[in-house]
Amino acid sequence: MAEETAAEGAPAKGGSGKKMMVLGLVGVLLLGGGGGAAWFFMGGQKEEGEKHAKNDHGDESGGEHADEAGPVVELEPFLLNLADRDELRFLKVSIKLELDRPEEKTDYPNKVPAIRDALLVLLSSKESQILRTVNGKRRIREEIMTRVNGVMTKGKISNVFFTDFIIQ
């Protein structure tokens, strides 16, 4: 009887050994393929980044200047109450605005008080639940862009950056 179990176990071990070898081989191939794909895609991004770096350093072969970032101006930080009803919440946010042209060619310096007023009214009307989510921050960024562009008459802003965003 002991001989029967040993005889039955031998083919099973050989079969499971083959299965393990095949699974190991498949695993190695998957890891190698994934690593090769990552290297390929990361290498492609690096070359693209080098092209942009060459264009940023005075190489005019790229052509248009439309892709260039405009000047970035910083607003004084905002510290304000949020519109939460159940509990008093504060927001401290620092905002930088990217202009679409040089600052001298816009009316931004003259519009800073009106921009701050529009943003204070906008931000203080929001509840902390909305502002805590990524989608909420994206929406408020779009609303800020709309409000500021509504205030400015010469020039527009092309991007909004949050450098501090604290809710307490």
In this structure, the answer to whether residues 163 and 125 fall within a common structural domain is yes
Q: For tokens 């010469």, name the residue.
A: 154
Percent residues over pLDDT 70 in the chain: 71
- Tens digit of each residue's pLDDT (9 = 90 or more) over 31-79: 777 676 666 666 654 444 444 444 444 444 443 445 577 899 999 999 9
In this structure, the answer to whether residues 85 and 45 fall within a common structural domain is no
Q: Are 45 and 70 in contact (CB under 8 A)?
A: no
In this structure, the answer to whether residues 48 and 98 fall within a common structural domain is no
Q: How far apart are CA 33 and CA 44, in angstroms?
A: 16
- Tens digit of each residue's pLDDT (9 = 90 or more) over 5-34: 544 545 545 567 788 888 877 777 777 776
Q: How far is CA 62 from the centre of its chain?
A: 26
Q: Report the number of distinct structural domains present in the chain.
A: 2
Query: Looking at the domain assignment, is residue 103 inside a domain?
Result: yes
For position 131, what pLDDT does the model report? 94
Instruction: Give the residue numbers spanning the domain of 38.
Output: 2-62
For position 113, what pLDDT does the model report? 96
